[in-house]
Amino acid sequence: MQTQVLPVNEQSIALAARLLQQGELVALPTETVYGIAADARNGAAVRKIFAAKGRPQDNPLIVHICGMQMLRGIVAEVPPRARKLAAAFWPGPLTMVMPRGEEVSDVTCAGLDTVGVRMPSHPVVQAVIRASGVAFAAPSANLSGKPSPTNAQDTLADMDGRLPLILDGGESAVGVESTVVSVTGEHPVLLRPGYITKEQMEAVLGEEVQVSPAILEKLKEGEVARSPGMKYKHYAPKAQVTILQGDFAAYRQYVAQHAGPGVWALCFDGEGAQLPVPYIEYGRDHDGAAQAHHLFAALRELDRNGAQIVYARCPEQDGVSMAVYNRLIRAAAFRVVEL
Ligand code: TXA
Ligand code: MG
């Protein structure tokens, strides 16, 4: 299959809408990362997403909408907490897991009785949904296991020949995937951290948001993931990544002791020039939003440079940094060295 990359304009939006209506795939930018869209009600269309990504069938997809009226048929009910969070954070990078509606395909939900829904703020997504009338399922546009793409070039690198159209809408602003929160149970539970933080949701809800244990630690043998996506090795570059937890002086010393062929540093802005190995910087220290914006592109750049061993500076674990830490620790296959 020939993959076209088109700039965003009226014609390309109309083409994307037509492809979605016909049950085809379209890759497109969102404010978080690039996604691969297919009609969430059409099981045969959604199956093509799993094939294009090489994604395990038991990992459910997020349904994207552009207005509250589109929830009809997608969810069975909108719990009161979901209304509050939607009023505060939609459109935006927040996915809510709700009771599943009867029109969503089984394939989209991987057979679960819940469905993850989000209303993105990106104008291209909104335009495509409006033009097509299609609520679409869309995972990140990477091959399963690789870092999520945050621009059209990285999307093409993974999806060339696997789908007909990539809309090029420039770089994704946020850089990591949406926050996923479950609002179906007795307590709200954070299933995947993102740009909308636990603290922000707690301020709106006036209650604690529990953190799923799978977010910051490795699942123990036999433990069940509430969010199936959490159990897979994820975001992994080809290089072996190790997170070094400690201050910059200790980091620099450790890297100097372990310098050698193929060794790279993944560090914060302004630090690289002080290191004896080649480096990629991924945002300012203490600035989770900047780190989120750069992380996935940095991991892909390390691969392009042939990095084999990567020592990464450790992000914090609260606010937006929780999302950065959550992705990086998976890229590092949970290898953390305390300095
Ligand atoms: O920012 C994003 O959310 C991007 C863009 C394209 O919108 N999409 C995205 O989708 O990250 P994906 O498929 O890569 O990640 C979906 C995550 C997975 O961890 C999955 O297990 C979880 O959401 N998820 C989806 N539906 C769920 C459900 N019903 N219950 C629990 N977890 C669910
Ligand atoms: Mg993904």
Q: Under a CB-based contact definition with an 8 Å cutoff, are residues 67 and 6 in contact?
A: no
- Please give the Cα distance from 270 to 14 (Å, whole number): 44
Q: Under a CB-based contact definition with an 8 Å cutoff, are residues 164 and 3 in contact?
A: yes
Pairing mode, strands 4-7 and 165-168: parallel
Give 256-285 as a DSSP string. Answer: HHT--TTEEEEE-TTTGGGSSS-EEE-S-T
Res. 225 pLDDT band, cuts 50 70 90: low
Amino acid at 25: L
**DSSP structural state of residue 93:** S
Give the per-residue pLDDT at 62.
Answer: 98
CA of 180 to the centre of ligand 1 (A): 7
Hey, which of 31, 53, 61, 119 would you mutate to test ligand 1's pocket, going by the most ligand atoms within 8 Å of its Cβ?
Answer: 61
Closest CA to 167 of 62, 26, 52: 26
CA of 52 to the centre of ligand 2 (A): 13
Site residues for ligand 1, CB cut-off 6 Å: 30, 32-33, 35, 59-62, 93, 95, 97, 109, 112, 114-116, 138-140, 177-178, 180, 191-192, 227-230
What is the average per-residue pLDDT within 268-284? 98
Closest CA to 92 of 187, 200, 165, 183: 200
Give the per-residue pLDDT at 218.
Answer: 76
The interaxial angle of helices 123-132 and 10-21, nearest 10 deg, is 50
Neighbours of 194 (CB within 10 A): 26
CA of 53 to the centre of ligand 2 (A): 10
Ligand 1 atom closest to the CA of 177, numbered from 1: 1
Q: Under a CB-based contact definition with an 8 Å cutoff, are residues 44 and 23 in contact?
A: yes
pTM of the model: 0.96
CA of 62 to the centre of ligand 1 (A): 5
Q: Under a CB-based contact definition with an 8 Å cutoff, are residues 194 and 178 in contact?
A: yes
The tens digit of pLDDT for each residue in 176-198 reads 999 999 999 999 999 999 999 99
Cβ-proximal residues to 69 (8 Å cutoff; 6+ apart), any chain: none
What is the average per-residue pLDDT within 269-287? 98
pLDDT > 70? residue 168: yes
Give the per-residue pLDDT at 205.
Answer: 98
Give the per-residue pLDDT at 170.
Answer: 98
Give the per-residue pLDDT at 3.
Answer: 98
Neighbours of 138 (CB within 10 A): 26
Res. 229 pLDDT band, cuts 50 70 90: low
Give 12-70 as a DSSP string. Answer: HHHHHHHHHHTT--EEEE-SSSEEEEEETT-HHHHHHHHHHHT--TTS--EEE-SSGGG
Give the per-residue pLDDT at 183.
Answer: 97
Ligand index nearest the alpha carbon of residue 194 = 1
Q: Give the environment of ion ligand 2: residues with CB less than 5 A.
A: 140
The tens digit of pLDDT for each residue in 238-247 reads 999 999 999 9
What is the average per-residue pLDDT within 3-15? 98
Res. 117 pLDDT band, cuts 50 70 90: very high
Does residue 192 have a known ligand-binding role? yes
What is the average per-residue pLDDT within 32-50? 98
CA of 219 to the centre of ligand 2 (A): 18
Res. 9 pLDDT band, cuts 50 70 90: very high
The tens digit of pLDDT for each residue in 55-68 reads 988 899 999 999 99
What residues does 115 pair with on adjacent strands? 98
Query: pLDDT exceeding 90 applies to what percent of the chain?
Result: 91
- The mean pLDDT of the chain is 95
Q: Under a CB-based contact definition with an 8 Å cutoff, are residues 42 and 105 in contact?
A: yes
Structure token digits, residue 78 = 């909108």
Does residue 32 have a known ligand-binding role? yes
Give the per-residue pLDDT at 220.
Answer: 67
Cis ω on the peptide bond leading into residue 91 (within 30° of 0)?
A: yes
Ligand 1 atom closest to the CA of 194, numbered from 1: 1
